A and B are shown apart, each in its own frame.
Chain A
Amino acid sequence: MTARLFGIGWVFHLKSLTHSLFFVLVSVLQPVIFASIAFFMFESGSQTGTLLYLALGAGLMGIWSATLFGSGGAIQWQRWQGTLELMVGAPPPLLALLLPLTVATATIGIYSVAGTLLWGRLFFGMALDFEHPLTLAVALPATILSLGMLGLLLASTFVLYRNANAFSNLLEYPVWLATGLIVPLSLLPGWVTPISWVLSPTWGMRAIRDAAFGGNAWPEIGMCIALGLVYLGLGALALRNFERLARTRATLSLT
């Protein structure tokens, strides 16, 4: 029953998000533009980064943006559309209804990875040679799932702030930086590294790069899954708290 609910909800939200021009921009066009910027910067510089390295990094940037903007405002959007009361009033737990949405926002990030890889292949003749394609086929869904769980945590905590959308705008660049998607963490101040450990895109990026360029990606995949479970637990707690407060204070539909 729960699996069926998750599956149907996930497909529904995936279709819905795919029809949104905003998410097309965030998950396809923006990563391709950022990949192009990074490529031209590297081409005119002294660093010998490969195009595939940049394309994968820009793809993950798109997954984070889609998750951040999609999940960060998820509850607020349901509230504006007048569907939040229906979700809370429905027999299944709110968590079971919201999780498919947050995982769907991370899943449309697949468009980002596909978009940046296709961009590299078509316009720059980038070779799509992956050292461990099967590991990559596991690393990518594991990353997306863990980001979906992180999305749940964002959704259930951002709703407590009136300026949650602005908060989403604020968090896009810092997480791109702090998770080493383009710039290695060794170039950043030392205090950034511990922050990167609790952010699943860090481990997802490492897993994907290890799978693509050679290396043991399984420990990072494990970290992605473990962090995803932590996010799920924290998100469930925060969501229960939100639901309790909203029922007690009768503020469910109030923005």
Chain B
Amino acid sequence: MSVSARIFFVGGAISYRALFNWIQPGMYVATMLGSPLFQILFFTYVGRYAGSQDDAFFIVGNAIQVAAMAGIFGMTMGIANERQYGTLQPLLATPANRLAIFAGRALPFVVNGIAVSVFGFVASWLLLDFRPADGSVPALAVAILVTTCSCVALGMLIGSIGLRARDVFFGANLVYFLMLLVCGVNIANDDLPGWLGAIGRCLPLTHGIEAAREIASGVPLGDVSGLLATEALIGLAYATAAYVLFRVFEAEGRRRASLETY
């Protein structure tokens, strides 16, 4: 294994264990499984009452969106908490490949996001009688993977901003809730005012959720490849912006000796 690959895999795993040593099983179950489950139930029941769409619309939308919890909050903490814990300076004093350090951190959150999303679908299957089209599960898994990766990319961007901002978690929370509104999670993008829909189309989730809904209704993966490619490209754009910001803030922090000042 090359040095960069080792930093990517081993460094990513170690950083996750170090930064999230406070996670207890009970805390994980309540926050990462319980809360998403009740979010799915809540919006499905609101949807039934409103009579706007069928259950599957809300189940797929929310079961995909809950991956953003790991993607956005987790990834934000995965970068910004280095500063809060006082470990940013030693980390950046190493000669290690920055891209490997930066990208390696994403891996645990991608895995976590997928696990949360899969749990959401399974719970919906058990509790809400959700049944995706026959044979659609592998394609649905691809949609979950792509969408989770793009959410993690957005989390990377917010985390990078957290290297400079005083209260990055306010931004992370706000983005998470706004995604519920503008990304087609509970309201079809066409039913939103034009400007809100346009914001949603520039964010991760929107195209991934649209693709997942099509897949769950029986459309083959090939027919939604355009949507998934768009989702992947949006994620790539956010990841690139995040890495550029990370390097800019690193350089600025060194120049001004302000890496860990608030």
Contacts and interface: CB of A to CB of B under 8 A. Distances in A.
Interface of A: 21-22, 25, 29-30, 33-34, 36-38, 40-47, 49, 162-163, 165-167, 169-170, 172-174, 176-177, 182-184, 187-188
A45 B177 contact: no
B202 interface: no
A34 B41 CA distance: 15
B220 interface: no
Contacts, number: 104
B45 A187 contact: yes
Given A41-B52, A44-B188, A163-B24, A21 B167 contact: yes
Contact of B35 (A36, A46, A170): A170
Contacts of B53: 44-45
Interface of B: 24, 26-28, 30-31, 34-35, 38-39, 41-42, 45-53, 167, 169-170, 173-174, 177-178, 180-181, 186-188, 191-192
Given A38-B50, A41-B46, A45-B50, A166 B31 contact: yes
A10 B50 CA distance: 39
A29 B174 CA distance: 8
A157 to B, nearest CB: 15
A29 B171 CA distance: 12
A46 B188 CA distance: 15
B191 A44 contact: yes
A22 B45 contact: no
Contacts of A173: 35, 38-39, 41-42
Contacts of B46: 38, 41, 182-183
The majority secondary structure among interface residues of chain A is helix
Contacts of A25: 170, 173-174, 177
B45 A188 contact: yes
A25 B175 CA distance: 11
A167 B30 contact: yes
A162 B24 contact: yes
Contacts of A30: 173, 177
Contacts of A41: 46-47, 50, 52, 186-187
B30 A169 contact: yes
Given A41-B186, A169-B30, A49 B180 contact: no
A150 to B, nearest CB: 19
